[in-house]
Amino acid sequence: MATHDLGVLPAFDLDIPTLLDISREGGIGGRTRRYEKFAGDMGGVYRDGDAWRADVEARGSDRLVYWVDDHRYQEGPGALVVGTSTLLPGRVGDEFAFTRGHLHEVADRAELYYCLKGRGVLLLETIDGRSEAIELSPGKAVDVPGHWIHRSVNVGDEPFVTLFCYAADAGQNYAIIGDANGMKSLVVTDGAGGWTTVPNSDHRGYRA
């Protein structure tokens, strides 16, 4: 799956306090990296592959679906990455638009997600089978402990923007979801303007 890395500045070591300019529309002043995901990058991640193909054929594979802006001025244990994630609204079949999701490579690393705009769900799962779906709206945050796989889902009709913060040495393991044939739960429309979760019958279980 392609990552479109539009790095703006090389990461460098800056050991002075830094004022960050966070946009509620998504984006951060002084970012060191942006990566973007397009509709065509999301093949195989939605359960309804036919709906994904039809969407890409109708609206193009080069349509931006989400992007992440990072501020990363230090490396190593103790340093933080701060940034924003902007996920556009939409559905593929019954599933609401989502980010790929990951477990941190250093699995015990926690993360904070604070909602700046929109209405979304943080879908959270553990390797041993626990699952949570927590709705976020502006002013709400989720403190994600280590060892939880996490994915943002946009269940509203405007961009879902979150501010995140995690340890700079955390890393991201995306393959754990692909190897399990998707997350255990799907966030889908409830048919009445809301959302609900249903089991993903294709899910094979996570392997540590």
CB 103 to Fe ion: min, Å: 8
CB 67 to Fe ion: min, Å: 15
| Residue nearer to Fe ion on the CB measure, 56 or 144 | 144
Residues 6 or more apart whose Cβ sits within 8 Å of residue 106: 167, 169, 170, 171
Q: Are 197 and 185 in contact (CB under 8 A)?
A: yes
132: how many CB neighbours lie within 10 A of its CB? 16
CB 102 to Fe ion: min, Å: 6
Residue number with the shortest CB distance to Fe ion?
111
Work out whether 125 is an interface residue with Fe ion (CB under 5 A): no
CB 61 to Fe ion: min, Å: 26
Rg of the Cα trace of the chain?
A: 17
Which part of the chain contacts Fe ion (CB under 5 A), choosing from 8-16, 37-45, 71-79, 104-112? 104-112
Binding mask 54-93 for Fe ion (x = CB under 5 A): ----------------------------------------
Distance of CA 58 to the CA centre of its chain: 24
Identity of the residue numbered 132? E
**69, 94, 111, 125: residue in contact with Fe ion (rule CB under 5 A):** 111
139: how many CB neighbours lie within 10 A of its CB? 8
CB 41 to Fe ion: min, Å: 18
What distance in Å separates the CA atoms of residue 51 and residue 11, rounded to the nearest whole number? 39
Strands in the chain per DSSP E: 4-5, 33-38, 64-71, 80-87, 91-92, 95-96, 111-117, 120-125, 131-136, 141-144, 149-154, 160-167, 185-189, 195-199
Which part of the chain contacts Fe ion (CB under 5 A), choosing from 4-12, 23-31, 51-59, 103-111? 103-111
CB 162 to Fe ion: min, Å: 11
Which part of the chain contacts Fe ion (CB under 5 A), choosing from 72-80, 108-116, 173-181, 188-196? 108-116
| Token pair recorded at residue 107 | 């699995």
| Residue nearer to Fe ion on the CB measure, 70 or 94 | 70
Question: Which residues bind to Fe ion, rule: CB under 5 A?
Answer: 111
